[in-house]
A and B are shown apart, each in its own frame.
Chain A
Amino acid sequence: MQSLTNLERIMKAIKRQEPDRIPTFEIDIDARVINGIEPGATYEDFCEYMDLDALCYYEVSMDPYEVIDQARGVVRDQWGAIKRYAPVSFSIPVTLEPAIKSKKNLDNYASPDPDLPSRFKRIEQAAKKFKGKRAIIATARPFAVVRDSLRGQNDLFKDMIRDPEMIDRLNQITSDYYRRYVKNLIDAGADIILETADWAFTHGPMVSPKLTARFITPALKEIVDYCHSRGIPCLKHTDGNIWTIFDLIVETGVDGIHPIDPLAGMDLGEAKAKYGGEICLMGNVDCGELLSWGTKEEVSKAVKDCIRKAGKGGGYICMSSNSIHGAVKPENYSEMIRAIKEYGKYPLVH
């Protein structure tokens, strides 16, 4: 097959067609891994250097925030929550104090401005450089905002039983915000939207399928419908074991699901057999043990296994089972990319 641009390769896979080879990208790549492979490279340079098919711009990195205690890594996020960044991980903060402690806080709550131009600068710059060549992916995370910034995990989950109206009001805040925000992302040049709120833990979904459908999936469906009205695919990320809510995710009309986490008991072959006809599968190369502590030979074998399980007929993007975090061995990530390019050529022979 004639070789495709990176963008065409991703789009074909998302449409569950066979591209020239299986595409790859990551939702996040830690600077320590970038520096281990191509010292001093910017994220954009690194994506070009590794010939990744998409660049992914994580929403949180583009949101404004206020530093409260630099030494302890404490900030107030744009939603009003006080959060703390762990000393070794700069991407996953923990909520110390949510913005909404009672319904009283809701009455005079001022949502952040989804039209703030500074949010979209990186997407606009990426579009200038990569538009039509590599896919530009931007993320959104309505449920994570409600859970981690507005209400806090404990109260949010309990509200689902004791005060559903509270969650409806919180969901309305994020719905109003993301309607504008996603429009602006697409206007700025995003080719694909990726919704990144985690909905599951290792042993299963955070809340029952019934409550997932009541409180969580509608926000994704709204984004999916809007993206489709603009001719843009929408992908979904959630960690954890999602077997019991997989149908609900597919029913939103979302185009792809990431990361089919093997450590949470998600088998890629089984996902391909059950859902491969309806949705593009993404991920499954174990970044917990394998990419962090495994050998290059084990990485190569895992990539080959993933391609064998999910590559047939297209509809598979080979990625890690979460992200290329700081503990991933740079040589293992390089090997993963090499193996995808060797074993992922269509027609598949391995």
Chain B
Amino acid sequence: MIDLAELVSSVAEGDVSRAAEFTRRALNAQLSAKKILDNGLLPAMDRIGSAFENGEIFLPELLMAGDAMKAALELLRPELAKRGVPYIGKYAIGTVQGDLHDIGKNIVILMLEGNGWEVTDLGTDVSPEQFCEVVRKGDFDVLGMSALLTFTMPKMAETISALKAARLRDKMKIMVGGAPVTQTFTEKIGADAYARDAVEAVAKAKSLLKK
């Protein structure tokens, strides 16, 4: 009998080789990829998410856990795809035009993927037109915008205006985040949610799906 608690702890502790080994063993023991995801990876991401939010772990531990999660997920993905297991939702995310910072965005991606989202990373320096193009072509539940520089925050408002002008605004929910972004600013520009960190981003994205 495979004990998924071992997978949970190996991911939470950021042990890449152990996480991959337990995932392989679980698959070989005929456990479904969905079960391994639900009872192994999701609880692990929950554990590291709350530990990060509570200040019990920091960036080094989070990044190591992210690597372990990715190693396990890589092994599960072909199986999940084969069985048509749906993602929790589709999320497109990018850093706004003029801003090249991406560590915050990358942590959000890591947490979203670990929590069952299909994430499209649009990279950095994404113009309002590029955001519109991605939304037009894709079928996303949530669009996330990130900015580190106060100077680039207005690009979030410009992007929302461009989406409105292209009649794409209501196609999905919009979330914003980044060091200078606040709840007041979020409301002012007409975004649907603000997340102060990656853990909150996952919770808010999930709650937006229900709306």
Contacts and interface: CB of A to CB of B under 8 A. Distances in A.
Contacts of B43: none
Interface stretch (A38-46, A156-164, A338-346): A156-164
B103 A153 contact: yes
Nearest to B98: A88
B124 A289 contact: no
Interface string B161-177: 00000000000000000
Interface stretch (B80-88, B130-138, B179-187): B179-187
Interface residues of B, number: 34
A253 interface: no
B101 A94 contact: yes
Given A86-B98, A94-B124, A208-B57, A326 B151 contact: yes
Contacts of A162: 64
B125 interface: yes
Interface string A199-228: 001111111100100000000000000000
Contacts of B67: 158
B40 interface: no
For chain A, give the interface size range.
35 or more
Interface in B32-78: 53, 55, 57-61, 63-64, 67
A161 B61 contact: yes
Contacts of B180: 263, 288-289
B179 A263 contact: yes
A12 interface: no
Contacts of A153: 103
B150 A288 contact: yes
A87 interface: yes
A161 B57 CA distance: 12
A203 B197 contact: yes
Given A84-B100, A87-B98, A202-B197, A211 B60 contact: yes
A161 B62 CA distance: 11
B196 interface: yes
Nearest to A83: B100
B127 to A, nearest CB: 11
A9 interface: no
A201 B173 CA distance: 26
A162 B17 CA distance: 13
A92 interface: yes
Contact of A206 (B58, B149, B185, B197): B58
Contacts of A292: 150
Contacts of B100: 84, 86, 93-94
A89 interface: yes
A166 interface: no
A206 B179 CA distance: 13
B14 interface: yes
Contacts of B179: 201-202, 239, 263-264, 288
Interface string A153-193: 11001101110000000000000000000000000000000
A263 B154 CA distance: 18
B130 to A, nearest CB: 14
B64, B151, B182 — which one has the most chain A CB atoms within 10 A of its CB?
B151
Nearest to A87: B98
Contacts of B192: none
Interface in A81-127: 84, 86-89, 92-94
Contacts of B185: 289
Contact of A161 (B14, B99, B149, B184): B14
B58 A208 contact: yes
Interface string B1-34: 0000000000000100000000000000000000
A35 interface: no
A162 B14 CA distance: 10
A340 B154 CA distance: 29
Contacts of A327: 149-151, 153-154
Contacts of B149: 86, 88-89, 92, 325, 327
Given A94-B101, A161-B61, A208-B57, 11 more contacts: A89-B149, A89-B151, A157-B63, A161-B64, A201-B179, A204-B55, A208-B61, A263-B182, A288-B150, A289-B185, A325-B151
Interface of A: 84, 86-89, 92-94, 153-154, 157-158, 160-162, 201-208, 211, 239, 244, 263-264, 287-289, 292, 325-327
Interface of B: 14, 53, 55, 57-61, 63-64, 67, 98-104, 124-125, 148-154, 179-180, 182, 184-185, 196-197
9 contacts: A92-B101, A94-B102, A202-B196, A204-B55, A289-B180, A325-B149, A325-B151, A327-B149, A327-B151
